[in-house]
Structure 1
Amino acid sequence: MKLYDYILSPSCYKVRLMAALIGVKLDIRPVDFHPGAEHKVFELLALNPAGSIPILEDGDLILTESSAMLVYLAAKAAPEWLAGSQAGEAARVQQWLSFSGRLTASLGGARLTEMLLRPGDIGSLQTQGVLALRELEAGLVEQSLRGMRFLATDRPTVADIACFPYVALAPDGGVSLDPYPAIRLWSRALRSLDHFIEMPGIHRLHELKPEPHIEPRET
C-alpha cells in the first residue's frame, strides 16, 4: 500500500497516523509539494487529476480523499475504528467526517496563507476557523456530558483522526486553541493512544500547561 506523502501536510499526516495506530505498514513516496509543486506533474496528475495529495494506492485501487483513506484502512485492518451498529453513532461518525472538510478549508487555508504565503483572505479564513472550533468544542462538551471523550462514541474513531491534525495546527494559521478546553482535553486523549505518532509542528506543548477544566453548565 503506497502513500504519496508530504511530511508537512496535515491531510497526509492523518493517513500516516491512522496507519500507525492500527499497525498498517505504508510504503511512503515523498512528494515535493513545496516549493517543487511535484503534485502538479504528469505522473501524479494521472493518479489524481485534482492535483492534490495525499494519494493512496493499493493494487488497482486509487483513493484521493483522506477521509476515504481513513475508512479504507480501518475497514481492512481495524473495523472497531468505524461506526458501530447503532444508527446514531454511525451518523455522528459521518457528520464529523464531513465536518473535517470545513477544518481543512478554514484552518488549513489560514495555515497555507500564513506559512507558505498562498493567496487568501487571512481574516476570513481565521474567522471561519474560529467558528469551526466553536462548533467542535460544543460537540465535545455534549459528548463529555454523555461520559464520552471522543467525537462519536466512547472510543476513538476515524472521525477523530479526520479532525485532529488541522485543529492541532490551528496556531500555525494564527488561531489560538487556548479558549477551547474540551478540544485540548480531546487532543490529550488522542495523543495518549498507543502508537500515536507526531508530525513536525504538532508538539506536546499541552504537557507544559495545566489540565484544562470544563465548567459545568448551569441548569
Structure 2
Amino acid sequence: MPAIQLYSTPLSGHCHRVTLLLNMLSLPFETRDGGKDVRQTAAFAQLNPLQQVPVLTDGEHVLTDSNAILVYLVKRYAPDSHWLPEDPLPAAEVQKWLSRAAGEVRYGPASARMVKQFSAPEVYESALKVAAKFLPQLEEHLENREFLATDRATIADLACYSYVATAPEGGVSLTGYPAIQRWLARIEGLPGFTPLPALPLPEIVG
C-alpha cells in the first residue's frame, strides 16, 4: 500500500489540484473515499475536524487544506524543482496566486459551479460578479506569460487551474479570454495531467 493516501471526491477541484501534483511528481498514492457520508464519521473528523476534503496522509503525517498540501508535497518530495521556487520574488508570486485561488477563484468560478451543479447554498449573483472582475485581470496577466508566477509551471498554476477550467460548468463563459484558454491548454499538456470529469453545461452568462 502506498504511504500516501488521499481522501477526495471525483468532482472536487480542490482535490483535483492535489491529484494533479501527485501525478506530475510521479508519487504513488491511494485514493480514499472522501464522500459526504465518510466526512460525517468520527474517524474522518479525527483527520480533519472541519470535515472537508482533501485530506492527505503520508505515514504519520496528516495534511489538510489543498494549497497547504501542495506546499508540503513539493517541499518534501521535490524541494529543488520549479514547482515552488526558493528565490524570494518568485516564491512571493506563487503565494500571491495561491491566495487568489483561495479568494477570487474560490468565490467566483468555483462558487458559480457549486451553485449550478450541486445546489450549494451560496449566492450565484455574487459569484458571477467576482468572476466578472477576476477573469479580465487573469486574462491581462497571461497575455504575455505562459504561466502564472514564473516561466515554468508552479503549484500556483495547479491551484488556479481546476475551477477556472470548469468555469463554463457554472455558467461562466471563457470564450472571450484567449490567453486564459492558452494557459489552460498548457496545463493540460503537462506530463501526468488528468482532467476532472465533465459535467453538463448550464446556460452561459456573458
TM over 0.5: yes
- For residues 76 and 32 of structure 1, what CA distance do their matches in structure 2 show? 27
> Are residue 10 (structure 1) and residue 7 (structure 2) matched?
no
Which residue number corresponds to residue 57 of structure 2? 57
Mapping of 1:14-93 within 5 angstroms? 14-33=17-36, 37-79=37-79, 80-93=81-94
SS at match of 1:81: coil
1:181 aligns with 2:178: yes
Give the 5 Å matches for 1:178-217: 178-201=175-198
Output aligned runs, 1:35-184, within 5 Å: 37-79=37-79, 80-102=81-103, 103-141=105-143, 144=144, 148-184=145-181
Q: Which moved more, 1:171-180 or 1:104-113?
A: 104-113
2:107 and 2:42 map into 1 onto residues whose CA distance is: 25
Q: Which runs of 4+ in 1 moved over 2 A?
A: 76-79, 81-87
Q: TM-score, normalised by structure 2?
A: 0.88
Deviation at 1:64, TM superposition (A): 1.0
Deviations 1:146-194 (A, max 9, x none): xx41111111011100100010011111111111111101011111111
Q: Quote the Cα distance in structure 2 between the aligned partners of 1:17 and 1:27.
A: 14
Return the offset for 1:120.
Answer: 2.1
Q: What amino acid maps onto 1:57 in structure 2?
A: T
Q: Is the 8 A contact 1:74 1:81 kept in 2?
A: no
Task: Give the letter for the 1:4 counterpart.
Answer: Y
Alpha carbons 1:110, 1:125 under 8 Å: kept: yes
Partner amino acid, structure 1, of 2:138: L
| Per-residue deviation, residues 40-66 of structure 1 (Å, max 9, x unmatched) | 222211111112110011122211110
Q: CA 1:74–1:83 in structure 2 vs 1: closer, same or farther (change >3 Å)?
A: closer
Tell me the distance in 2 between the aligned counterparts of 1:166 and 1:157. Answer: 16
Shift of 1:85: 4.1
Identity %: 36
Distance in 1, matches of 2:132 and 2:172, equals: 7
- Normalising to structure 1: TM-score of the pair? 0.83
Sort the Cα spacing of 1:92 and 1:5 in 2 relative to 1 into closer, same or farther, 3 A.
same
Q: Which blocks of at least 5 consecutive residues in structure 2 are unaligned?
A: 200-206
Q: Point out where structure 1 has 5 or more consecutive residues left out of the alignment.
A: 203-219
Give aligned pairs, total.
Answer: 194
